[in-house]
Amino acid sequence: AIYLAKKNIKRKGVLEEYEKEHYNMLNQKINYKWDFIIMQAKEQYKAGKERKKADRYALDCQERAYWLVNRTP
């Protein structure tokens, strides 16, 4: 959920169709924690901007690779 929220913040609301579906589904399922998830995603996004470009790129690639491998069906 945090990954999709962070990606949504980074891309300013432009997500792929399957990502939008998952984002909305997660919002409905864990609505009681959604404010916390958005807050956490914003903090991680801000912290990522403060890192060096190479570190930021490496972490972004690692996170993207993890979610490509562990994508929910």
pLDDT in tens, 18-33: 888 888 888 888 888 8
Exposed/middle/buried for residue 44 (C-beta within 10 Å: 0-12, 13-18, 19+): middle
> Whole-model pTM?
0.65
Which CATH number is 36's domain given? 1.10.1240.60
Domain residue limits at 23: 2-69
Total domains, the chain: 1
pLDDT range class, residue 73, cuts 50, 70, 90: low
The residue with tokens 């609505």 is 31
